[in-house]
Amino acid sequence: MRTSEDREEPPLSRRVVLRNAAVTAGTAAMGLGATRPAFAVDDPVGTTTASSPATATARMGGTAITMSVVDGALRWSATRNGRTVIDTSALGLRLGDGTTLGDDVTVLRHQHWTARTTWAPVHGRNATITDHYQEQRWKLQDTASGIRFGVEIRAYRTGVALRYVLGTEIEGDTVTVSDELTTFVFPDGTTVYSARDEDAYLPVAPDAIPVTGTPNTDRGPLTDLPLTAALANGFLACVCESARLDFPRMMLGSVAGEPNTLSAFLMEHTARGSGTVETTATVTTPFATPWRTVVIGATHAELVDNAELVLNLAPPNALTDISWIRPGKVFRCELSTAAGLAGVDFAMARGIEYIEYDAGWYGPEFTTVDATAPIAAIDLLSVISYATSKGVGVFLYVNRLALTDAEALFGLYRSWGVTGIKLGFINEGTQSMTNQITDWARTAARYELLIDMHDDVRPFGYERTYPNYISLEGVRGNEQFPTATHNVTLPFARNIGGPIDYTICYGQSRNKTTNAHQMAMAAVYYQPLNFLFWYDRPSKYANPANWPGLPWFNSVPTTWDESRTLAGSIGEYVAVARRNGATWYLGAMTNEEARTLSVPLSFLGSGTYTATVYADGTPGSSPFRTPVVVSTRTVTSETTLDMAMAGAGGQAVILSPG
């Protein structure tokens, strides 16, 4: 179902000529069940008629997802603790020849099982992640065409997921998909937080997503993922993608005449309009579509802590050697040799793992397509040699226009001693661009290079599969200096889907927030590659007495052993505690309203801790001019910390044992 704005001509068919394809399970590489548990139950159910509807429900920890056949048509719904999260919604795929899979089906086979494993991410919010779910699978047949396909649903304690499976009975066949018909029907009174590209979030009813787009992009009442919905019953639900491989990116769109419904839209244009228009996606069987994932929280804070559902649905780590993958903080240098050398010294002094040369190091990025030679002002090999001798890595920025031969370019950078690449103006959306991005990540891994993907890209759990794909933008960050309200929306929205590269700015006069608010981001946001002091030079911080927040940035890590969201309300405030080793780092942020959060420290271990508190001082004439005030106190797990924040303010706290 297309969701572009109203127009007179009929909607284009979005995907599929299904040639001699069947659909059901698939390959282990796609996670299609080749390794299903030995205790899986296989229940042939025979023919299911419209008068005898079939239903299958997966349940886990109070969360349930149901798929059913109602009057021959596929439907799904989801609940938490018996309360509706997703009301009865459509399932289906449209084929290019006009066939619709899902309108009139027969259930041929039913499988179900429960699985539980624990795995350790290379970098993440927690040192270990539990993958515990119940799955239900249907093998189906379209009545009119005889085409067979499958639907899989999973229930986790943290949310639900579904996907379609195509063509395992004839391996190596091709399937051309032309529309996904999945809908998400929310309960009455739902507010969704809509944003496209790097725009600010707009809280609206599901049927009121604004029409956006240009003649060169997908136009309509469309919103990007992750998409968070605040339900009238108090629950939050965040729609995400996981395991998007060889498939277009999904957006969601309002549906005329259906006030609570959002419909899947598979992108035909790249997000910013470059490249070829792709109205179909051809895949090779066996094939599974991306998981359509709904992360669920009974509270706003719980939603944030349930975000690892997206990773659980992604393919496992494909790399055997991960010793070279190092999360960390990054300092951008100006475009000269001297600035690079000074940046290395600054990084060493401030506990920063990387320096970076950004746009312009090989010439004007939109007119120079050769990223193999630095400008005359930079002796790049000397800077890399000096950085390496000091244990500091070097990132280089490359605009997509210079990425015509990634194999050769990445190999060259590896020979230079480069440790990471920031890819700029990446313009994903179509199937081809999904494949290009995953290919870049795989190629970079062969040369032991980290990847930071920039501009309009969206997460799909690939940082689990290729952990060198360490971060991505796809967020309105400090290039735009957003409002405090936007900043305290991000933990409940974009950051649910995966890491963000926000670009924290401390001591920046253009900020609409206090410096303590910016400091707190380093704990509140999950960003394993954290760019700091973006617009600044080392000389700005030559007198540390003028910058009392520097010790916080010196200390704060970017990957964690344990994370807990202590309080929160989307668009209003948030408090997150994260542990690395024995030390906890606590960040709290508020919107433009001053407030005090009372935060129990019951998560601490036994004994005493020293709390170093970086707080807002007396509000200045603008949020930026509000000073940071530092204090220390002794606390225990019995302590409640009263965190006073100015309007657009925050607090950052280090809790050290002893």
pLDDT per position as a tens digit, 347-357:
999 999 999 99
pLDDT at 209 (0 to 100): 98
The H or E element that residue 131 is part of is: strand 129-142
Cα-Cα-Cα-Cα torsion 552, 557, 563, 566, nearest 10 degrees, comes to 10
pLDDT at 31 (0 to 100): 53
Which two structure tokens, joined as six digits, stand for 45? 């159910």
pLDDT at 20 (0 to 100): 30
Q: Is the pLDDT of residue 476 over 50?
A: yes
Q: Are 94 and 16 in contact (CB under 8 A)?
A: yes
- The 3-state DSSP class for residue 46 equals coil
Q: Are 571 and 202 in contact (CB under 8 A)?
A: no
Q: Is the pLDDT of residue 26 over 80?
A: no
pLDDT at 49 (0 to 100): 45
Which two structure tokens, joined as six digits, stand for 652? 């950052």
Q: Compute the distance between CA of residue 375 and CA of residue 488 in angstroms, rounded to an integer.
A: 40
Q: What is the 8-class DSSP label of residue 456?
A: S
| Number of neighbouring beta carbons within 10 Å of residue 17 | 17
Q: Is the pLDDT of residue 51 over 90?
A: no
* 252: nearest Cα among 284, 278, 276, 228: 228
Q: What is the pLDDT of residues 297-324, one digit of tens each?
A: 999 999 999 999 999 999 999 999 999 9
User: What is 325-363 written as a DSSP string?
Assistant: ---EEEEEEPSSHHHHHHHHHHHHHTT--EEEE-TBBTB
Q: What average pLDDT score do residues 519-525 get? A: 99
**What's the mean per-residue pLDDT of the chain?**
92
Which two structure tokens, joined as six digits, stand for 406? 């990634």
The H or E element that residue 129 is part of is: strand 129-142
Q: What average pLDDT score do residues 597-602 get? A: 99
Q: Which of 3-17, 250-264, 363-377, 389-403 has the lowest mean pLDDT?
A: 3-17
pLDDT at 29 (0 to 100): 43
Burial of 189 per CB tally in 10 Å (0-12, 13-18, 19+):
exposed
Confidence of residue 168 (pLDDT cuts 50, 70, 90): low
Residues 6+ apart with CB under 8 A from 652: 516, 519, 520, 522, 523, 549, 552, 556, 585, 586, 587, 588, 613, 614
Residue type, 253: G
Q: Is the pLDDT of residue 34 over 70?
A: no
Q: What is the pLDDT of residues 418-464, one digit of tens each?
A: 999 999 999 899 999 999 999 999 999 999 999 999 999 999 999 99
pLDDT at 274 (0 to 100): 85
Confidence of residue 41 (pLDDT cuts 50, 70, 90): low
Tally helices (H) and strands (E) across the chain: 11, 38
| Number of neighbouring beta carbons within 10 Å of residue 203 | 15
Question: Please, which residues bridge with residue 129 across strands?
Answer: 119
Distances (CA, A) of 14 to 143, 241, 268, 559, 623: 21, 19, 8, 40, 48
Q: What is the pLDDT of residues 1-15, one digit of tens each?
A: 333 333 222 333 322
Q: What is the 8-class DSSP label of residue 309?
A: H
Q: What is the pLDDT of residues 550-579, one digit of tens each?
A: 999 999 999 999 999 999 999 999 999 999
Q: Compute the distance between CA of residue 567 and CA of residue 579 in angstroms, rounded to an integer.
A: 16
* 223: nearest Cα among 213, 215, 214, 232: 213
Predicted TM-score (pTM) of the model is 0.93
User: What is 91-123 written as a DSSP string?
Assistant: --EEETTS-EETSSEEEEEEEEEEEEEEE--SS
Q: What average pLDDT score do residues 31-39 get? A: 44
Q: Are 385 and 415 in contact (CB under 8 A)?
A: no
Q: Are 277 and 215 in contact (CB under 8 A)?
A: no
Give Cα 277 distance to the centre of its chain: 25
Confidence of residue 358 (pLDDT cuts 50, 70, 90): very high
Q: Are 466 and 550 in contact (CB under 8 A)?
A: no
Q: At what angle do helices 380-389 and 337-349 cross, to 10 degrees?
A: 20
All domains of the chain in start order, with CATH = 41-312 (2.70.98.10), 328-555 (3.20.20.70), 562-657 (2.60.40.1180)
Q: Are 314 and 293 in contact (CB under 8 A)?
A: no
Q: Are 175 and 30 in contact (CB under 8 A)?
A: no
Distances (CA, A) of 399 to 93, 204, 440, 649: 36, 35, 13, 35
Q: Compute the distance between CA of residue 427 and CA of residue 621 in angstroms, rounded to an integer.
A: 40
Q: Are 176 and 282 in contact (CB under 8 A)?
A: yes
Q: How many CA atoms lie within 13 Å of 626's alpha carbon, on the beta-carbon side?
A: 25
Q: Are 165 and 286 in contact (CB under 8 A)?
A: yes
Q: Compute the distance between CA of residue 206 and CA of residue 214 in angstroms, rounded to an integer.
A: 22
pLDDT at 53 (0 to 100): 55
pLDDT at 96 (0 to 100): 79
Q: Is the pLDDT of residue 35 over 70?
A: no
* 112: nearest Cα among 175, 57, 62, 68: 57
- The 3-state DSSP class for residue 143 equals coil
